[in-house]
Structure 1
């Protein structure tokens, strides 16, 4: 599954266009490698996403094309959240 689609379906980022912008700015890595919006995400991958002053590390558990809002969190597991000191 494409990275931008996974971020939208899992609701880590609300809109696919925003997910694409974040990826194109180089703020997402997959297993330590810089990711583009078109990068392929697979179960077991570790994503590190930079949201403003916060780094969020998640592990992909599951890939689904569609998911209900209350089930979205089953697609990933948050491994850690850390603040970035400027």
Structure 2
């Protein structure tokens, strides 16, 4: 049985996300890649990079507005979007 199309979507995330728009830098030993942080929570974030940019599975994320760096691992990829876990 399907729900009413007017019903709001069911939230399946275990941590609520805050929509943000912050500039960031993905940092590895070899390269620095500009990105934008689109949503963020205590354990992760969604990043956007330019189309065609190759991002490794593990990196350091520097968020300019907050002046902080996080170690990050990619949990999912969809085109230029990346879901990361930070620790």
Would you call these one fold, judging by a TM-score over 0.5? no
Which of the two has greater strand per residue? 2
TM-score (norm 1): 0.37
